[in-house]
Structure 1
Amino acid sequence: MPFSSLGFLPALLPVLLRAIAEKGYLAPTAIQAAAIPAILQGRDIVGSAQTGSGKTAAFALPLLHQLAQAPADAKRRIRGLVLVPTRELAAQVGEAIVSLAKYLPQRVKVAVVFGGVSINPQMMNLRGGADIIVATPGRLIDLIDHNALKLDQVGMLVLDEADRLLDLGFGEELGRILALLPARRQNLFFSATFPPAIEALAASMLTDPLRIEVEAVKQAEPEIVQRAIEVDPSRRTQLLRHLVQTEKWSRVLVFVATKHAAEIVADKLRKADIEAEPFHGELSQGKRNQVLQDFKAKLLQVVVATDVAARGIDIAQLPVVVNYDLPRSSVDYIHRIGRTGRAGETGIAISFVSADTEAHFKLIEKRQKMSVPREQVAGFEPVEVQTPNAADPAGTGGIKGKRPSKKDKLRALAAGK
């Protein structure tokens, strides 16, 4: 199915197709083919698709299509609002929308706003108004409180990675923002997972939505070679250094559990003459931007990142992802390995598995209906054995959602267990 058959107006089709071709899109992805015609018809959407599936273009193209049909307005009013959980994702989405809008007959002003940087330049940029705002909720509320913008003319609201918006504690900000929007608007809701809180939010926002689900694992499996290497925790950094050097990886994204681990691992790699930098939430926005820029330019060989900070990282032709620390959930596992193997490229996803994390990884395999053979690297064979974990007597491996809650523990205590 070509883009020309998705319902765009003939007058706008040539300029949109030109921008689409420059982005390298040969044909619509599954999420684009399903969502774009429905959005153009004015439907609300609930979409589920993996990272790298093309969902940004799925909502950006219809939004631009609507803006191009609106009469010219001397004072720009915000017609489209895209809410995202992280700074990096905001910058990525804003850049994608600008590139898709470059050939439209009327210039579209896209304002990208997020915290961690001075609010003053963002306020100055909004003095002439904007057509589309891409924002993290906290900074958007700050700008509203400074009377820098109004949301009373928004015709399309997009929540991108809605589950992360709630995970990061933006529920209160979302409530304030929704109260400021016009009652009549189109809502597009994208989320990787749909726990009860997300379902409740969708039910309160959407009117007769079209549900679109694109299977994540089936898309990822043919493009990503998954490996699980057994290693003692104390030797993971040495093994990582060995693999980077012997397998001659040009760029590697390494996931760790904490900001402290990101700093330590990156420092040890630098001492081994490997160009590496940490990437986490306590870095300044300028530093984070510089790390991403250097990584994309191949000036850095390794970036050691936490999950939250890495949300929104989109590196073309990233060959390798390493789970130095295993993710807490199987969903996070898919998000992590989805950073490689994009756009038809083959990628490698390696997980370091120790005796104490074997149960954890088995649960990830079970939930994703996969089996990854264990392997060992000569000179790094593990010697440690599993130790009892009082915090995890059921042997769940620490997977999020499987550990007993406080209420579960109180019930067990009351039952005399």
Structure 2
Amino acid sequence: MTFQTLGLCAPILTALEEHGYERPSPIQEKAIPPALAGRDVLGCAQTGTGKTCAFAAPILQRLSASRVQGHPLRALILTPTRELAIQIEESFLAYGKHLSLRCAVIFGGVGQNPQVEALGRGVDILVATPGRLMDLYQQGFVKLDQLEIFVLDEADRMLDMGFIHDVKKILKWLPKQKQTMLFSATMPPEITELVNSLLHDPVRVAVDPVSSPVEAIEQSVYFVDKNNKTKLLAHLIRELDVKNALVFTRTKHGANKVARDLAKAGITAAAIHGNKSQTARQQALADFKAGKIQCLVATDIAARGLDIEELSHVFNYNLPEVPETYVHRIGRTGRAGREGVAVAFCDFGEKPLLRDIEKLMGRTVPVVEDHPYPMVVLEAPKKDKRGRIINEEDAEARAAAKERRRAQDAANKAAAEERKKKAGEAVLSAVSAVAAAVTGEGGAQDGKKKKRRRKKGKGGGETAPVQEAQAPETPVRETPAREAARVKPLRPGVRLDTGDAMPRTEFDRPDPLAGDHIMDATARLLAPRKSTLSREGSAASRRAAPRKRRRGNARGEGETRAAGKEKPQRAAAPAEAGRKKRSEAGESKARPAARSSKKHRGGPRGPIEPMKSNRTKDSTEQHSLMKPYYLDN
């Protein structure tokens, strides 16, 4: 059977042929036809059998047949790990290179801005991990209302990593009418329950017994002590002419230690695990695929989903505690019908784990006895208080990592204290320079004040102070700031230049004239209350009152005529007008005198109001409360 007989379109067939795909794998033969028909698919197959192409090709063909304007999100693929998500996106881009569909990938561990920008431009197919998908959906960047196809890949791995609850939450956001495809290597009870609630009349596709190893992989096991595993690994890489190798360890510290030991032995190696940043993991994986690194040391984070072309060897440096994990590890090699080699190291304490793996596979792994590091230690492994096996290599690696981290923290602390000390010295020198500049100007001002006091004492008849004999001044070395202040005296509001002591720092000298409002308020609080009016003030007020009233009446009538609000009455006879003016003048003279006499007889009065005068006010008198006080005194 060929891909043409499966019903795929010409652009996809051309892309598959360009990437070396000649005949479909068993799962592709069984899954592609129902997927093209729009049926739900349940795929149970071991890793490395071509599951990605089994759902990617039908999705590309179905979406290209019905184009929607604006590139809305119509297909979602949910994966457990970042590496698998990146790999699936690469497969979609490869199979759909001759189509006009857009594909993007989102995952955590990196900034979300580039991913948000890609979503904003429009995406037809989205590959995502659960955490980042939930974040962007809750922020409103992911729209799922037009979703047509949903794929849940590595469902059992989702369960192992604790993502099953996030998956159930995401399923509630999806439309009810959609095509669903679920792929899993194993079918535990939790996954079976999820299948029954998610899929509707699915087509079940099963290839080989669940969790069975690929027959094309050549397996072997070496019995070796813990301390000699790294030496044996380096020896086999040279003796077996290993092109590239994927080495699996149990812990993160163990992966770092193995990578360092291989590098010391002259073998290029890098480690990837959960403590590495996403950028470092992607860079290490890219270098390994490009052939720049011969060995990639990884934890079980890389056990599934990694598709490395022509991977020659897989080494199990530590046997996994879960037998199924061994199957996924060795499945990284021998992919797509190719041959591969899987080598396992087993110390005395790991023999029970080897028996569990052989029981799961139903076959015995061949033992290689002819090697330079045979197992000598036949003692049971040490266990902690909880009964767990103590891995001495991991403990040593963890202690070494703590020591390196402690040394790095001490170095960082010393560097921070040194920077703080230098900054403090710079601040002190700058402050002293500014203080010296200000003190130089202040000394000149103090000298001027002393001269004014001497002049005032001589003018007032007081005895002037006897000048003391001044000692000859010792020449003082001037600082740059003091010299600048001497050449150009500072004025209020002028900025001080701190020179090299504090670069990019300026100080504003306060302007004493900017506080007149505060001085006015102080003067108002301190102004004394006078008990009576002076006679001169009373007489002046009596003389000014009639003139101001007449001037005010004339001004008011003129304004009324100019505005045209009232029509002026005809003028009365000259004699009658004269009597009215004399009577008004008499009343105006009598009323102020009566008021002033009452105020004299009364007790103390309030603050003195400023006297009104005919002259035009100066601009400095508009809002000042100090002027009236000083004028009255």
TM-score (norm 1): 0.89
- Out of 49, 52, 55, which is 2:48 matched to? 52
**In 2, Cα distance between equivalents of 1:346 and 1:171:** 34
Does structure 1 residue 89 correspond to structure 2 residue 62? no
Secondary structure, counterpart of 2:172 in structure 1: helix
**In 2, Cα distance between equivalents of 1:247 and 1:66:** 46
**In 1, Cα distance between equivalents of 2:131 and 2:366:** 43
**In 2, Cα distance between equivalents of 1:356 and 1:219:** 25
- Out of 74, 92, 98, which is 2:93 matched to? 98
Q: Which moved more, 1:59-68 or 1:326-335?
A: 326-335
Q: CA offsets, 1:117-139, max 9 Å, x none? A: 00111011111221011000100
Considering only CA atoms, is the larger Rg found in Structure 1 or Structure 2? 2
**In 1, Cα distance between equivalents of 2:55 and 2:338:** 24
**In 2, Cα distance between equivalents of 1:309 and 1:249:** 20
Runs of 4+ in structure 1 over 3 Å off? 216-222, 388-391
1:37 corresponds to? 33
Contact kept? 2:311, 2:332, Cα under 8 Å: yes
**In 2, Cα distance between equivalents of 1:276 and 1:390:** 31
Matched to 1:88, the amino acid is E
Q: Which moved more, 1:214-223 or 1:117-126?
A: 214-223
Matched to 1:4, the amino acid is Q
**In 2, Cα distance between equivalents of 1:31 and 1:270:** 40
Does structure 1 residue 2 correspond to structure 2 residue 2? yes
**In 1, Cα distance between equivalents of 2:187 and 2:301:** 19
Q: CA offsets, 1:205-227, max 9 Å, x none? A: 01111111111689854421100
1:400 corresponds to? none
Q: 1:217 to 1:382 in 2, by over 3 A?
A: farther
**In 2, Cα distance between equivalents of 1:71 and 1:272:** 56
Tell me the number of residue pairs that the alignment of Structure 1 and Structure 2 aligns. Answer: 389
Q: CA offsets, 1:236-263, max 9 Å, x none? A: 1111111112222121100000111000
Does structure 1 residue 27 correspond to structure 2 residue 23? yes
Alignment of 1:267-346 (within 5 A): 267-346=260-339
TM-align CA RMSD: 2.2
Residue 310 of structure 1 and its aligned partner are, at CA, apart by 4.2
Does structure 1 residue 168 correspond to structure 2 residue 161? yes
Residue 390 of structure 1 and its aligned partner are, at CA, apart by 6.9
Alignment of 1:3-402 (within 5 A): 3-8=3-8, 13-73=9-69, 75-104=70-99, 107-215=100-208, 220-387=213-380
**In 1, Cα distance between equivalents of 2:119 and 2:240:** 48
Residue 267 of structure 1 and its aligned partner are, at CA, apart by 0.6
**In 1, Cα distance between equivalents of 2:271 and 2:250:** 12
**In 2, Cα distance between equivalents of 1:353 and 1:371:** 14
Q: CA offsets, 1:319-365, max 9 Å, x none? A: 11000011222221111111112233321100101121112101111
Residue 88 of structure 1 and its aligned partner are, at CA, apart by 0.5
Contact kept? 2:50, 2:336, Cα under 8 Å: no
**In 2, Cα distance between equivalents of 1:174 and 1:97:** 22
Q: CA offsets, 1:47-88, max 9 Å, x none? A: 011212111111111111111111341x22111000000111
**In 2, Cα distance between equivalents of 1:49 and 1:190:** 8
Q: CA offsets, 1:347-394, max 9 Å, x none? A: 110010112111210111111011112222432011111417779x99
Q: 1:219 to 1:173 in 2, by over 3 A?
A: closer
Q: Identity of paired residues, percent?
A: 45
Q: CA offsets, 1:144-175, max 9 Å, x none? A: 12211111111111000011112111122212
Contact kept? 1:153, 1:181, Cα under 8 Å: no
Q: 1:29 to 1:218 in 2, by over 3 A?
A: farther
**In 2, Cα distance between equivalents of 1:71 and 1:378:** 61
Contact kept? 2:224, 2:345, Cα under 8 Å: yes
Q: Which moved more, 1:341-350 or 1:230-239?
A: 341-350
Q: Which moved more, 1:88-97 or 1:217-226?
A: 217-226
**Unpaired stretches in structure 2, ≥5 consecutive residues:** 388-633
Matched to 1:86, the amino acid is T
**In 1, Cα distance between equivalents of 2:117 and 2:321:** 41
Greater relative contact order (Cα 8 A, min sep 6): structure 1 or 2? 1
**Unpaired stretches in structure 1, ≥5 consecutive residues:** 395-417
Contact kept? 2:263, 2:269, Cα under 8 Å: yes
**In 2, Cα distance between equivalents of 1:151 and 1:72:** 15
Contact kept? 1:109, 1:130, Cα under 8 Å: yes
Contact kept? 1:241, 1:269, Cα under 8 Å: yes
TM-score (norm 2): 0.59
Contact kept? 1:129, 1:149, Cα under 8 Å: no
Secondary structure, counterpart of 2:53 in structure 1: helix
Q: Which moved more, 1:381-390 or 1:40-49?
A: 381-390
Q: 1:237 to 1:44 in 2, by over 3 A?
A: same
Matched to 2:163, the amino acid is F
